[in-house]
């Protein structure tokens, strides 16, 4: 009886300890993710509140205070005074053409590097990876001279070409890593059925590579959408400027409309946030696709 009683008293104690440990572990995990959520969302919330304040409230230094009167007129000023729609259309045009070009070139290069049996495949991949190490600032003067000589300076083409060049290396790296995981038997079966190289690429490899392609698209979109250095260097025409230039519409010699600047920044970041949340699941799948298949 005494042994049975001792066993019955030990079991609840063990279960209680396991529950306590599990609860403490859950609290730590939730606290960590809560802290991560706050640090990620706070800048966006702060910018949203900032965009609804007056200049006096912004310059008062009380960053955490809510505006006394919500200044929705700042958004009207951002759209009308910052040429928002014109700059938005220019950014959308440049970004979309760049992303299509990057996917087309990078997918072909990745397919050749990962699926063809040729001795220079790894060397070509290394060349692409070296392109990731070139600082953007080091290319400004040579590119300006080249574009001036071929008469494409101050055109959207002068932005699209370097954007494609800087986004293609990382795209080739991601896509080639995934395409290596595609089973060779699929291509062999297609060859037996009479499929050529381009049909294998377009009908088999490319559809399978949709997850990493979505990852490449969103990375390129984020990098290009708010890019300013190249745009400020190669574009001077008002009708060709992209979205980041709209901020300077609210800065004059004697005054600055900080609320309108905040509203313009919110409107500029809105497409990135929407697209990211819409494609978040596909981006995650694309980042781990190669590891899962391998």
pLDDT bin (cut points 50, 70, 90) of residue 287 is: low
Checking if the pLDDT of 37 tops 90, the result is no
What is residue 117's predicted lDDT score, i.e. its pLDDT?
76
**Mean pLDDT of the residues in the chain:** 81
Report DSSP state, residue 65. Answer: P
- The phi and psi torsions of 251 (rounded to 5 degrees) equal -115, 115
Other beta carbons within 10 Å of 156: 19
Which ranges in the chain are annotated with CATH 1.10.3720.10? Answer: 83-292
Contact between 168 and 128 under an 8 Å Cβ cutoff? The reply is: yes
Name the CATH superfamily, with its identifier, for domain 83-292.
Answer: MetI-like (1.10.3720.10)
User: Do the Cβ atoms of 206 and 182 come closer than 8 Å?
Assistant: no
Instruction: Convert the pLDDT of each residue in 137-190 to its tens digit.
Output: 888 999 999 999 999 999 999 999 999 999 999 999 889 888 888 888 877 787
Give the pLDDT mean for 68-96: 89
pLDDT per position as a tens digit, 112-142: 888 777 777 778 888 888 888 888 888 899 9
Is the per-residue pLDDT at 68 higher than 70?
yes
* pLDDT at 293 (0 to 100): 46
DSSP letters along 190-243, please? HHHTT--HHHHIIIIIHHHTHHHHHHHHHHHHHHHHT--HHHHHH---GGG--G
pLDDT surpasses 60 at 101: yes
Long-range contacts of residues 136-140, Cβ cutoff 8 Å, at least 24 apart: 136/162, 136/166, 136/229, 136/230, 137/229, 140/229, 140/230, 140/233
DSSP conformational letter for 248: G
**CA 199 centroid distance within chain:** 30
pLDDT given for residue 163 in this prediction: 94
Q: Whose CA is closest to 230, among 286, 169, 176, 156?
A: 156
Whether 154 contacts 88, CB under 8 Å: no
Is pLDDT at 15 greater than 70 in this prediction?
no
Confidence bin at 22 (pLDDT 50/70/90)? low
Quick one: 184 exposed, middle or buried, by C-beta within 10 A (0-12, 13-18, 19+)? exposed
Select from 254, 252, 263, 255 the least CA-distant residue to 56.
Answer: 255
Q: Measured between alpha carbons, how far is 292 from 294 in angstroms, rounded to an integer?
A: 5
Residue 12: pLDDT over 80: no
Stated pTM of the model: 0.78
What pLDDT is stored for residue 294 in this prediction? 42
Between 238 and 193, whose confidence is greater?
238
**Average pLDDT in the 74-94 region?**
90
What's the number of CA atoms in the CB half-sphere (13 Å) around residue 287? 8
Q: What is the pLDDT of residues 24-33, one digit of tens each?
A: 777 887 888 7
pLDDT over 70 for what percent of the chain? Answer: 87
Q: Is the pLDDT of residue 20 over 70?
A: no
* Per-residue pLDDT reduced to its tens digit, 253-274: 677 888 888 899 889 888 888 8
Closest CA to 244 of 224, 259, 258, 214: 224
Which has more confidence, 280 or 202? 202
| CA dihedral sign, ordered 163, 100, 172, 146 | negative
CB-CB contact of 45 with 27 (8 Å): no
Which of 166, 179, 50, 41 minimizes the C-alpha distance to 108? 179
| pLDDT of res. 49 | 87
pLDDT above 90 (res 94): yes
In the predicted structure, residue 104 carries a pLDDT above the cut 60 = yes
User: CB–CB of 163/225 below 8 Å?
Assistant: no
Residues 216-232, mean pLDDT to the nearest whole number: 88
Q: Cα separation of 259 and 134, whole Å?
A: 37
């Amino acid at each position: 009886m005494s042994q049975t009683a001792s066993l019955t008293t030990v079991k609840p104690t063990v279960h209680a300890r396991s529950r306590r440990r599990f609860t403490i572990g859950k609290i730590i995990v939730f606290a960590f993710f809560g802290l991560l959520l706050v640090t990620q969302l706070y800048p966006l919330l702060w910018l949203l509140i900032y965009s609804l304040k007056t200049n006096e409230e912004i310059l008062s230094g009380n960053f955490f205070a809510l505006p006394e009167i919500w200044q929705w007129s700042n958004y009207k000023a951002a759209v009308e005074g910052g040429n928002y729609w014109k700059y938005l259309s220019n950014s959308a045009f440049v970004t979309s053409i760049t992303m299509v070009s990057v996917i087309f070139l990078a997918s072909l290069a990745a397919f050749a590097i990962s699926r063809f049996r040729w001795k220079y495949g790894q060397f070509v991949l290394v060349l692409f990876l070296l392109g990731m190490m070139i600082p953007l600032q080091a290319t400004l003067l040579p590119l300006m001279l080249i574009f001036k000589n071929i008469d494409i300076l101050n055109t959207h083409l002068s932005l699209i070409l370097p954007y494609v060049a800087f986004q293609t290396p990382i795209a080739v790296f991601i896509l080639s890593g995934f395409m290596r995981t595609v089973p060779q038997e699929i291509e062999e079966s297609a060859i037996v059925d009479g499929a050529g190289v381009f049909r294998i690429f377009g009908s088999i490899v490319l559809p399978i590579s949709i997850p990493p392609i979505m990852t490449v698209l969103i990375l390129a979109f984020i990098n290009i959408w708010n890019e300013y250095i190249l745009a400020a260097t190669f574009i001077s025409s008002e009708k060709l400027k992209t979205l980041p230039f709209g901020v300077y519409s609210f800065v004059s010699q004697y005054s600055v409309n900080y609320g309108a600047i905040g509203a313009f920044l919110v409107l500029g970041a809105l497409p990135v946030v929407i697209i990211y949340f819409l494609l978040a699941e596909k981006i995650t799948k694309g980042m781990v696709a190669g590891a899962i298949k391998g």
